[in-house]
A and B are shown apart, each in its own frame.
Chain A
Amino acid sequence: MTTPAVELKGITKRFGAVVAVDSIDLEIADGEFFAMLGPSGCGKTTTLRMVAGLDFPTEGSLKIFGDEVGTLPPNKRPVNTVFQNYALFPHMTVLQNVAFGLKMQGVDKSAAASQAREMIELVQLGGLEDRKSSQMSGGQQQRVALARALVNHPKVLLLDEPLGALDLKLRQEMQGELKRLQRELGISFVFVTHDQEEALTMSDRIAVMHEGQLLQVGSPEEIYEHPVNRFVADFIGQTNLLEGTIEDSATVCLANGVRVKATSSYSTGAKVALSLRPERAHLSMRGDGASDGSSIDGVIERMTYLGNARVYSVRLDWMEVEVREENRPGAALYEPGTEISIHWDPGAVWVVADS
């Protein structure tokens, strides 16, 4: 196996009594677009800052391309960061901002300027070299921040919520742009985000963090299809979590006593939750669907019209679930109060530990 671009082993960060990052093991391959995903305060930014050298781990080993860097200051590490809100130097022009890293490394003035110009060209800001950052839009500042980091040819680029401050349209544009840059440069991008959709669309692999713990690492598909626990299932996309207990390796007994088919490796009697994605469930009038262990009865509570789909809230005996029906011509409409049953394809549900 080749040397990973970034390798964390047992990385822990404590701020006084608070454990921000709790013994994380993580390998990020060279050339990978890697997302660290989690709600705010989950430790993802702290982890990124430790890789950058802006925070130092309390314990553990941190390697970049095989070299231990855990105690090195940021200027001695072959990585660069795109900061949240960009942190552009307000007293410098775009060109000076971008050339800053080269200048600090002792690259001679004219070489630094020409490399910086090239990079400014690459992020499509040609002609704006002499602007101050305060005279630029958010999207342009974002590009300057990218150029300023990339001009140093880092082995790994770290991005801290890079698109958080942009509006939706610009954000989608920049997502494509980041992917393009990453492919062109062939280096690993490690980016921190709390936006699961962004993580799913952009990344090769995602690490889901919660309360300082690394819950799951995998491709977007793995994370979405096979979440390891309740938190991941709920955080990535939308889902209904139906509590129950394991009856045997192929059956889960739900809270109201209904038995449904679901394959899992949890031991008999274990408390679990059945994850049923709204778009994978379907509605039918009660009695229409075959009661084959892949359905459950309920009553329509209300309907939300989304244009391309309708989301029905369905009351079960002990909870409410949501079912999303695509808005196709001829799609059946269900009035509130209608007694229906929800059914799904075998294999559409996924069992997660209920914790």
Chain B
Amino acid sequence: MTAVEMPVEQDVAEATPEFEAAAARHDRRRGFLLALPAYGYLVLFFAIPLIIVVVYSFATRNRFGGTDLSGWNLDSYQKLGEPIVRDILFRSLWLAILTTVICLVISYPFAYFLSTRSPTVRNVMLVFVMIPFWTNFLVRNYAWRVILGNDGTLTKITEAIGLGEQELLFSQTAVVLGLVYGYMPFMILPLYAAIERIDHRLLEASRDLYANGFQSFRHVLLPLSMPGVIAGSILCFVPSLGAYVTPEILGGAKTTLLGSYIVTQFLTARNWPFGAALSFVLMAIMLTATIVYFRKGGRTL
């Protein structure tokens, strides 16, 4: 590139290799310097703590609630097989999958609808999608408590239309409701971005080639929007699986999920090794799910 831009009078052929090597060197150095703050931050606050978690998960809890780093063992991981832990794990997985699927089913038609609107309407609607972010997540969860709770809005409505008293608070349904509400924007935005990029004429072409509305969706729109489906699903699934705030506020004591259970291990049970093992397993599940999903979507991670 350097060679092309140089004036013709100069001996281009001879100068080129040195110039290009120098330019490439310069580029690399600048790239490294620009990325350095991010690298530093990640190493300090992500990689090192992660290593500490892994190390702790092989340690032993002593009688006083402290942690002995000597005498490494697999006790904490064996404990994962206990029925109570297994139940929490599966319940968390199930609710996270349910949340993701519900988000996907609700968001997809909306994202498609959004992509067919005029740019002005789109922008207004996207702002509406993002408005909830302007309010604290904790506050929004407490709002659900008001809606679902004793004598709450929901009960009043169901009573008014003759369905009797409906109490959803402190149930799995309430947790899923809260999670879907909390993570829906994370599904809508990548879906919208993916669908919006698809050439609308491809759908017309499929209709012209005898596909009915559903076939057109199944064979053209869905495969082409797969990157959005994958990104949105991961963005929903991962935080749902580790959710702490929503299950704590809306789930009550009956529905302990992984997030709350881990917190309990660290703060109440004072079993840091077990908490670390749980955290590590949670992360492993998320990583596996992400990789599998990406591969299935025909993409490399």
Binding site for B on A (CB under 8 A): 52-54, 73-75, 79-81, 83, 85, 87-91, 100-101, 104-105, 148-149, 152
B41 at the interface (CB under 8 A from A): no
**CB < 8 Å neighbour of B210 from A54, A83, A105:** A105
B62 at the interface (CB under 8 A from A): no
Shortest distance between the CB of B183 and any CB in chain A (Å) = 28
Q: With contacts A75-B210, A104-B211, A104-B215 known, is A83 near B205, CB below 8 A?
A: yes
Bound-state Cα–Cα, A100 to B223, Å: 14
Q: Are A54 and B204 in contact (CB under 8 A)?
A: yes
Q: Are B224 and A90 in contact (CB under 8 A)?
A: yes
* Residues of chain A within 8 A of B204, CB atoms compared: 54, 74, 83, 87
Q: Which 4 residue pairs of A and B lie closest in terms of their CB atoms, listed nearest first?
A: A101-B209, A104-B210, A87-B205, A87-B201
**Residue interface mask B191-234, A partner, CB < 8 A = 1:** 00000000101101111111110010001100110000000000
| Given A75-B210, A81-B208, 13 extra CB contacts under 8 A | A54-B204, A75-B208, A83-B201, A85-B201, A87-B204, A87-B205, A89-B205, A89-B220, A100-B209, A104-B209, A104-B211, A104-B215, A104-B219
* Residues of chain A within 8 A of B207, CB atoms compared: 53-54, 73-75
Number of interface residues of B (CB under 8 A): 17
Binding site for A on B (CB under 8 A): 199, 201-202, 204-212, 215, 219-220, 223-224
- Where chain B touches its partner, the secondary structure class is helix
Identify the closest chain A residue to B204 (Cβ). A54
Identify the closest chain B residue to A105 (Cβ). B210
Q: Are B224 and A91 in contact (CB under 8 A)?
A: yes
* Residues of chain B within 8 A of A149, CB atoms compared: 208-209
Q: Are B208 and A54 in contact (CB under 8 A)?
A: yes
Shortest distance between the CB of A109 and any CB in chain B (Å) = 14
Q: Are A81 and B211 in contact (CB under 8 A)?
A: no
Q: Are A75 and B201 in contact (CB under 8 A)?
A: no
Shortest distance between the CB of B205 and any CB in chain A (Å) = 4
Identify the closest chain A residue to B215 (Cβ). A104
Identify the closest chain B residue to A101 (Cβ). B209
Q: Are B215 and A52 in contact (CB under 8 A)?
A: no
Bound-state Cα–Cα, A104 to B201, Å: 17
Bound-state Cα–Cα, A269 to B208, Å: 52
Q: Can you identify 24 A-B contacts, CB atoms within 8 angstroms?
A: A52-B208, A53-B207, A54-B208, A73-B207, A74-B204, A75-B208, A75-B210, A75-B212, A83-B204, A83-B205, A87-B204, A87-B205, A88-B205, A90-B202, A91-B223, A100-B206, A100-B211, A100-B219, A101-B209, A101-B210, A104-B212, A149-B208, A152-B209, A152-B210
Bound-state Cα–Cα, A243 to B34, Å: 70
Identify the closest chain A residue to B203 (Cβ). A87
* Residues of chain B within 8 A of A80, CB atoms compared: 208-209
Bound-state Cα–Cα, A172 to B193, Å: 39
* Residues of chain A within 8 A of B215, CB atoms compared: 104
Q: Are A148 and B209 in contact (CB under 8 A)?
A: yes
Bound-state Cα–Cα, A149 to B215, Å: 17
* Residues of chain B within 8 A of A101, CB atoms compared: 209-210
Bound-state Cα–Cα, A81 to B219, Å: 18
* Residues of chain B within 8 A of A90, CB atoms compared: 202, 224
Shortest distance between the CB of B219 and any CB in chain A (Å) = 7
Identify the closest chain B residue to A96 (Cβ). B219
Shortest distance between the CB of A187 and any CB in chain B (Å) = 16
Shortest distance between the CB of B174 and any CB in chain A (Å) = 40
Q: Are B205 and A81 in contact (CB under 8 A)?
A: yes
Shortest distance between the CB of A348 and any CB in chain B (Å) = 45
Bound-state Cα–Cα, A75 to B219, Å: 15
**CB < 8 Å neighbour of A53 from B201, B205, B206, B208:** B208
* Residues of chain B within 8 A of A83, CB atoms compared: 201, 204-205, 208
Bound-state Cα–Cα, A268 to B212, Å: 59
Bound-state Cα–Cα, A185 to B219, Å: 29
